[in-house]
Structure 1
């Protein structure tokens, strides 16, 4: 069994994730492919993740890829998390993750509607009718907000109180429920936001705007194997527990998908990791590099076992729910955190001594990050201890 030490894992991370200077790209969709998908729970993350891995790309280039060229698409996928993904990966994520999410959402929302007693007859049949009417209305409009669609489809304004016995609970209409379910099902897409690139108030568009024939069907077994294959190329080698965590699938589902791949086992400092058989050659370390990655960036959120690049810095840089804040990287490991103050200044704190040369490169990256923001101000959706301290 070949051994892969921490140095080589960090080299793979630097090259595959386009963090080493020589591997940066100004092709926004190619950056997304390098990471399988870009985390998009916080809209700013998508833009800042691209900025950290490019030389000349701007927020306008990300918007061009998302909303004009439409080489990228925003969807719920692994762990019911929002991602921005290359359009060619959509069938894989739809079959491996989103179809199950759609089924779960419809079942849960249907139960609330049934408990509220606001529908005569079979609730799931009624919901399917509302979904079809909503999709038709969106096809007619081309793009619309939830409020606009609720005017076209009166049943979207049906009120449901999910916890009538609780004083804090209030009736809400089902518009968002229907739109989220249609999104999970791959029939509609979150389009351009009402605001700048940090806004999460999206319009909706029919899937036909991105994929004229809709999302191609794909067998779930094939989709799961392909998703793991792409993840291992970008994030491998890694233990099976990391694959289970990242996908959100059960261990049995992961093991079954792995049987369709040609893999080798490697030793990761005493534990067993998996690697694609055609990707087992040693990887040389690139030139030393620095990066400022945003909150929820896909690199620090790519593994569950993080000691080999995080060290002892988790308490300062993660919140209690496991969400990472803005991080500073030096040569394959996290060495500090950063934040944007209200006046736009990028401030940071190193959590270990990295030397004068590394600090100079980190300063350069901080200046690049400030340029990327321009006049935009953004607060991470999930605040972490060090980010809060730096902006106090």
Structure 2
């Protein structure tokens, strides 16, 4: 990393970059969903609704059909369990880097954990049997094209076996071998989630085989992930990058050095901000903008240090106890409230401060835009937060 010691990128500039680079200012919105995924490096996908809501907030013409095209027809977006062991939807072109940098290391740990659990809580399992079962699953998928875990279990009976987890504890539960093995194959880049059975909000989906991506050296892959993060989220700190990726401090520092990250001062002269080389200059301020972003949106979950866009006193209303963000209202790069959709389809919101008539009007426009493309769909976040529950009550 290179220290400049002179250039400062204050909070106002960080908010301007956020609006422009993450396609939240109306003039910056995209035509295709792949552009929205690249603009945030990856769309959070732990909640199926988040991919659609996050992408459509950044599209000039929001449409669930456009998101489905990329996910299931062109397969130009791929979901991978990757950074922070979180599910992300990334572009097919970027997927080999994310796989090498994050998904496959997770798969190595998943495999070891699964073998350990099979040895402790199931009978007759070994590394050899696990590998044989994986090959059988892939053979069935190659023949069928796609199948749910239950459908695969009908042809590969080993998937129906169960493990009794957390024996004697309040959360003791049986878990099928199939649910764990399919997640492992997905992390290893062998299978992907196909179009869900039901609406786009459904978590019931079949699996489909994936052509193997080109091999990318892990160090090169980590550098590419960090380069893209800095391009869209910079300036950020070492702590921000470590939190977002879930990597060790050593891996983060090595990747930052590999991309030649440049140090800049943040608001108040604080040291430790990092940008890509040549990205120190100020950007033009976008027109005032409002956004209604879903729970777990990349913008609210993009940094560990959030005070420059989120007041600490507002966190308890907007986050659950595990640190998952709920739906947020934004004005010019700051979180100023939260929103929810009621059972009758109405989108309601609450602002935490007086942001002026222009902001209130702009939020209203975004609410109407959201209601317009959702139509008859009703969205309840998977991770519910105090304010979201209160607004729908």
TM-score, length of structure 2 as denominator length: 0.96
What is the distance in 1 between the residues matched to 2:259 and 2:203? Answer: 37
The Cα offsets for residues 51-100 of structure 1, whole Å up to 9 and x where unpaired, read as 11112131011101111111111111101111111001111011100111
Q: 1:77 aligns with which of 78, 82, 93?
A: 82
Does structure 1 residue 188 correspond to structure 2 residue 188? Answer: no
1:345-376 deviation line (CA, Å, top 9, x unaligned): 00001111011111111100010111121101
Aligned length: 385
CA distance in 2, matches of 1:308, 1:373: 31
Q: Corresponding residue for 1:25?
A: 30
**Following the alignment from structure 1 to structure 2, what is the Cα–Cα distance between the partners of residues 187 and 126?**
18
Moved more, 273-282 or 287-296: 273-282
1:386 alignment counterpart? 387
SS in 2 for 1:347: strand
Partner of 1:211: none
Q: Deviations over 1:214-270 (max 9, x none)?
A: 111110000000000000000000111000000000111111122211221000121
Q: Which residue of 2 aligns with 1:374?
A: 375
1:343-382 matches, within 5 Å, as 343-382=344-383
Distance 1:207 1:135 in 2: 10
1:239·1:271 contact (CA, 8 Å) conserved in 2? no
Q: For structure 1, which runs of at least 5 residues remain unmatched after alignment? A: 209-213
Structure 1 equivalent of residue 240 of structure 2: 242
- Hey, what does 1:332 align to over in structure 2? 333
Distance in 2 between residues matched to 1:390 and 1:125, nearest whole Å: 53
Deviates further, 366-375 or 153-162: 153-162
Distance in 2 (alpha carbons) for counterparts of 1:77 and 1:372:
30
Matched, 1:197 2:195: no
Q: 1:232 to 1:140 in 2, by over 3 A?
A: same
Q: Does 1:14 align with 2:29?
A: no
| Alpha-carbon distance, 1:164 to partner | 3.8
Across the aligned residues of Structure 1 and Structure 2, the Cα RMSD in angstroms comes to 1.2
Are the counterparts in 2 of residues 75 and 190 from structure 1 also a CA contact under 8 Å?
no
Match of 1:132 among 127, 130, 135: 135
Q: What TM-score, normalized to structure 1?
A: 0.96
User: What SS does the aligned partner of 1:336 have?
Assistant: strand
Say if 2:197 is the partner of 1:175.
Answer: no
The superposition leaves residues 263-310 of structure 1 with CA deviations (integer Å, 9 ceiling, x where unpaired) of: 210001213111001222211211111111111101110001000000
Structure 2 residue runs without a partner (length 5+) = 1-5
* Partner-residue secondary structure (3-state), 2:226: helix
2 CA distance for matches of 1:384 and 1:116?
Answer: 35
- Three-state SS of the structure 2 residue aligned to 1:291 is strand
Of stretches 47-56 and 185-194 in structure 1, the one that deviates more from structure 2 is 47-56
Cα deviations across residues 126-168 of structure 1 (Å, max 9, x unaligned)? 1111111111111111010001101111211223222344476
2:99 and 2:82 map into 1 onto residues whose CA distance is: 7
Is residue 38–residue 83 contact of structure 1 (8 Å, CA) maintained in 2?
Answer: yes
CA distance in 2 between counterparts of 1:315 and 1:380 reads 16
In the alignment, is the contact (CA less than 8 A) between 2:62 and 2:373 conserved in 1?
Answer: no
| Distance change (3 Å), C-alpha of 1:155 and 1:13 | same
Which segment drifts farther, 147-156 or 229-238? Answer: 147-156
Question: Of 102, 105, 114, which residue of structure 1 is paired with 2:110?
Answer: 105
